[in-house]
Amino acid sequence: MADVRLLGITQRYGEEVTLRLPDLELDWGQQVALLGPSGSGKTTLLHILAGLRLPSQGEVWVGGQDLTQLSEAQRDAYRRSTVGYLFQDFYLAEGYSALENVLLGLGVAGIRGRAAQGRAAEVLTQLGLGQRLGHAPRHLSTGERQRVALARAVAHRPRLLLADEPTAHLDRARATTALDLLTQTAASLRALLVVATHDPWVMARFPQQIELSSPPSAPVQEEAR
């Protein structure tokens, strides 16, 4: 049986929006692009896999447990141990250095003290930030900020690595680097990597794809004249 399975998921947002997500079967170590136009439910699907959101209906099986049957505390524990999430807008803590940002993430995962210090410095160094450990996010470039966010997402060695539009803020050269780092990091962790994107160029780099269609309630795009 697949390591990660979504079954019969619907997500309602108020009266207006009902998303029906496709059934999925994915395994640790796979790398897939999650495609679809804006509003098709990519972020919702990542949140559901991460245990950040409970779907309105359906089952979310990860490594033999259905997340929808867990208590909130159990879901928190699942997220901390199993999930690495690269947020579209990074969400770095501005008052803290690059190293401290990664330490904060490790602390949430229950890894503290010397072990955490060593791990944080090691991951940042592997991602090319060895000379930036003490820098605050505002003194880093966008590409560097994203790499701090990636270091924080992977330092606790998650099995499930989720990235939401990881190239949205980057030019092509930096986007290439970011995708290389994501795929290499996921491979070294033997993690399942799911990268949400609406960019065909990003999609083309992944051999496997999950495609979401736009919801019936989505506004029709006007054609360019």
Binding site for ligand ADP (CB under 6 A): 13-14, 17, 19, 36, 38-44, 215
Residue 112 Cβ, how far from ligand ADP at the closest point, in Å? 33
Q: Which does 167 bind (CB under 5 to 8 A by kind): ligand ADP, Mg ion, none?
A: none
Nearer of residues 78 and 87 to ligand ADP, judged by Cβ? 87
Cα–Cα nearest to 119, from 160, 155, 85: 155
Is residue 167 close enough to count as binding Mg ion by CB under 5 A? no
Q: How far apart are CA 205 and CA 65, in angstroms?
A: 31
Q: Which does 17 bind (CB under 5 to 8 A by kind): Mg ion, ligand ADP, none?
A: ligand ADP
Is residue 43 close enough to count as binding Mg ion by CB under 5 A? yes
Residue 17 Cβ, how far from ligand ADP at the closest point, in Å? 5
Nearer of residues 61 and 206 to Mg ion, judged by Cβ? 206
Q: How far apart are CA 112 and CA 141, in angstroms?
A: 28
Nearer of residues 155 and 196 to Mg ion, judged by Cβ? 196
Residue 164 Cβ, how far from Mg ion at the closest point, in Å? 6
Q: Which does 36 bind (CB under 5 to 8 A by kind): ligand ADP, Mg ion, none?
A: ligand ADP
Q: How far apart are CA 137 and CA 3, in angstroms?
A: 36
Residue 168 Cβ, how far from ligand ADP at the closest point, in Å? 11
**Residue written as token pair 């496709």:** 22
Residue ranges that bind Mg ion, judged by CB under 5 A: 42-43
